Amino acid sequence: MIVTIERLGHLGHGIAPGPIYVPGTLPGEVVEGTQDGDRLLDPKIITPSPNRVKPPCRHARACGGCQLQHASDTFVAAWKQEVVQNALAGQGLTAEFLPLVTSPSNSRRRATLSARRTKSGVLMGFHARASDTIAEIPDCQLLHPGLLAAFPGLQALVAAGGSRTTELSLQVTLTRGGPDVVVTGGKPLDATLRLDLARLVETHGFSRLTWDGETVALRDRPALTIGQATVVPPAGAFLQATQEGEAALLKAVKQALGPQKRVVDLFSGIGTFTLPLAEAMEVHAVEGDPAMTKALDLAARTTPNLHRISTETRDLFRRPLEPDELLSFSGAVIDPPRAGAEAQTDRLAQSKIPVIAAVSCNPVTFARDARILTDNGYRLDWVQVVDQFRWSTHIELVARLSR
């Protein structure tokens, strides 16, 4: 069967009439393969797109970690902006777009790897596309060199505490004290395993090891630098994937807010925006996770020369800040999870806050929430797309909304 790819879907698959989904293809390409339901098996490119490039990573064919390495950077940037434009159009909205910012290769400072013990040793990497098979990635072009350097130590952890029947998940984050490792799915802890794991943490220079929810070893503080502050996040806490991506998001947030006296940071996390903003203005940070609030509060109290930072632990899905609680703020930052923040956005729409910096990792829920604001007197001034997850379909953005 021969098909022509018309467009890319939100998962990065090429879509031909039918629809028929063909991963690894680009719009305009003519492809031959065997149809299986709505899929085309074993696709062969007959007519390649001018936007097709040789994947920069030798693992691209086997690994499912990246979906768009076969596409040029120019194409990916235009496609990601188009995804946001289409999401906005679905809500009847348009906006000016600032130039897209893309994180460089080998810049991912956190990743979640899969691993299991085998007869011959340890298998560790990312899952192959649409498969439970683990693809090894020793020359990954996505991960920071510091993460790749941690692979021998991570494999040693799996060899000591993994099994051949269970897959382990290893969340690894680069910190000033060394890689911070969170393992789930490992063997139950006993005295011998605790000792073995602690030795491996020391040998391989990990900062902290958390094993199925329990801190097994703390060799050094897993500290991060955010603005002028030092933050020690709880194990597994959310962190922007690259330093460059975080810097781009922060720059756009500052541009959106402009000079302010007092702002509220909703879904503040460990202080990604709170701490740098507090160098120039007062910030009230609201976060639902008490451990992250505690980490932010400690960083705020131990960093000199910041404006006042107040913190509040609060579930903004169940108890959003009400309009009367927002009266004292001249600006707001909101950075919700992928589900968006419909309830909190509704309260913001009823407030008198003149400017909002909206950060999102989901164009669809962002557009839904932006529509709530524009229906209540706000303008969508501009959108900044940040391609922090290079070669993936994931999209980050910052938008400015003002009254």
- Which residues are catalytically annotated? 361
Tokens of 281: 């203005």
- Cα 240 from Cα 353, distance rounded (Å): 27
Comparing CA positions, the residue from 268, 270, 302 lying closest to residue 283 is: 268
User: Which among 331, 346, 321, 210 is positioned nearest to 264, based on CA atoms?
Assistant: 331
User: Under a CB-based contact definition with an 8 Å cutoff, are residues 63 and 43 in contact?
Assistant: no
Compute CA distances 339 → 136, 275, 279, 336, 398, whole Å: 32, 25, 30, 7, 16
In 3D, which of 351, 396, 352, 400 has the Cα closest to residue 379?
A: 400
Q: How many Cβ atoms are within 10 Å of 276's Cβ, its own excluded?
A: 21
How far apart CA 336 and CA 81 sit, in angstroms, is: 20
Rounded distance, CA 103 to CA 80, Å? 14
> 43-78: b or e for each residue (b if 16 or more CB lie within 10 Å)?
bebeeebebbbebebebbebbbbbbbbbbeeebbbe
Residues β-bridged to residue 387: 102
CA distances for 58 relative to 107, 137, 362, angstroms: 17, 9, 29
**74, β-bridge pairs:** none
Rounded to 10°, the helix 151-161/191-204 angle is 170
Rg (the chain; Cα; Å): 23
Question: Tokens at residue 105, please?
Answer: 């290769």
Three-state DSSP class for residue 172 = strand
Q: How far does CA 362 lie from the centroid of its chain?
A: 10
Residue 108 is classified by DSSP as B
